[in-house]
Amino acid sequence: MIPDFYTHREEWPALIEQIVELLGRVSALEALSERGLELRRMNRIGSVHSSTAIEGNALSLAAVGRIASGGAVFGPQRDIQEVENAFAAYDALETLDPWNVDDFVRAHGLLTRGLISEAGAFRTVDVDVVGPAGDVLHTGSRHEKVPRLVSELLEWVASADDHPIIVSSAVHFLIEHIHPFRDGNGRIGRLWQTLILSRWRPLFAWTPTETLVRRSQEGYYSALQRSRVPEIDAASFISYMIDIILRSLHEYELQSISSVTDGGRNGGRNAAVLAVLLGDPTLTAVELADVLGTSSRTIDRTLQSLKASGLLRREGSTKSGRWIVVERGS
C-alpha cells in the first residue's frame, strides 16, 4: 500500500483552475486553426528532442525533425536509436493503459529497445543516482521490492481522487524515486505523466511540456531533490510541474493564436516556425527549413514577416545569436 507522500499546498486549486481555463481556450483555438496537425507535429518533435536531450542526447532539434520525417541523419547511432525509440513510445500513447504494469514495462521497452540489455524489464540490481560531481543524490528502492512498489503505485493512480494534474505529477516523482529500471527512468517518468494527463484531456499528448522541463532542467532536478530531503514530500515537485504545465499551455496558446489570426497556409507556417523557435531559439534558417521540410527561401520570407509583425526579433549575430518570440500585447 502506498503511504501518503505529499502535502497539499493552498495555491494549487487556483493554479489548476487557470490550467483548466487555458485548456478550454487552446482547444477552441485548435478547432479554428487549419494547421492544428502541423502544430501538434512540431510539439511532438520538440517533446522527443527535449526528453532525450535532458538525458544527454546530442542530436539537434533539426536532426530530430529529420528522423520524424524519415530522413537520413548523421550522428551517434545510440542517439539516433534513442530518438527513434522515443517517437515509437509517444506514438503508442493511445494504446497504453496508465494503470497497467505490463504496459508500463512495455513502454520502457519501446524507449530503450536496442540501448540496454534490460529493455522492458525491471532492474535486478540496486542502483544509486549520482550527481554531476559524483556524489550520491539518491538510492533507488531495493530491486526485489520494485515490482511490488510499481504495482502498488499504479493501483493508487487508478483509485486516486485527487486532481489528475496533482496525481500525474506525484506519480512522475515516485517513478523517479523508486527508479525501477537500470536506465530510462527519467524518460518513462515524463512519458507516464503525459499519458495520465492525456487520459484526462487528450490535448496533453501534444503540449510542449517536456520542452519547458528542458528549459528549466536545473529546476527539475532541484525539485526532485527537495521532495526527497529531509523526508519524502513530493509537494515541491508537484508545484514545479504545475508551473511547467501552466507555462506549456500558455506557449501552446501563443502558437494557436498565431495560426488562427494570421490565417491560411502562411499563418500555419508562421505558427509552426514560432513553435520550433520556442523549443530551440538558436536554430538557423537552414536548420528551420530542415525541421519543417520546406525551402530556406520560404523560411527567410516567413522570418521577415514575423519580424515585421513584431512577433519575432533577433538578438546577437547571425552565427551565435538567438531568436526571441514576442507574446502579443507584450
Distance CA 239, CA 170 (A): 10
pLDDT of the residue at 292: 72
Distance CA 178, CA 224 (A): 12
The three three-digit cell numbers of residue 28, written as one number: 477552441
pLDDT of 309 above 60: yes
Assign 265 a pLDDT band (cuts: 50, 70, 90): low
Number of CB atoms found within 10 A of residue 123's CB: 18
First-to-last CA distance in the chain?
A: 49
Residue written as grid cell 486516486: 160
Residue written as grid cell 530551440: 280
Decide: 234 and 6 in contact? Cβ < 8 Å. Answer: yes
Distance CA 158, CA 41 (A): 30
Highest average pLDDT, of 15-24, 287-296, 321-330, comes from: 15-24
The angle formed by the CA atoms of residues 106, 110 and 111, to the nearest 5 degrees, is 115
DSSP classification of residue 315: E
Instruction: Return the percentage of the chain with pLDDT > 90, whole number.
Output: 63
Angle between helix axes 36-54 and 185-200 (nearest 10 degrees) is: 150
Mean pLDDT of 196-212: 94
Would you kindly state where each structural domain of the chain is located, as residue ranges? Answer: 12-274
Distance CA 258, CA 320 (A): 27
What does the pLDDT look like over 140-183, one tens digit per residue? 999 999 999 999 999 999 999 999 999 999 999 999 999 999 99
Residues 6+ apart with CB under 8 A from 85: 110, 111, 112, 113, 114, 115
Please report, for the chain, how many H helices and E strands are present, in that order.
14, 4
What percent of the residues of the chain are helix, what percent strand, and what percent coil, each to the nearest 5? 65, 5, 30
pLDDT of the residue at 267: 58
Highest average pLDDT, of 65-79, 251-265, 285-299, comes from: 65-79
12-274: CATH number: 1.10.3290.10
Coil/strand/helix, residue 249? helix
Q: What pTM, to 2 d.p., does this model score?
A: 0.83
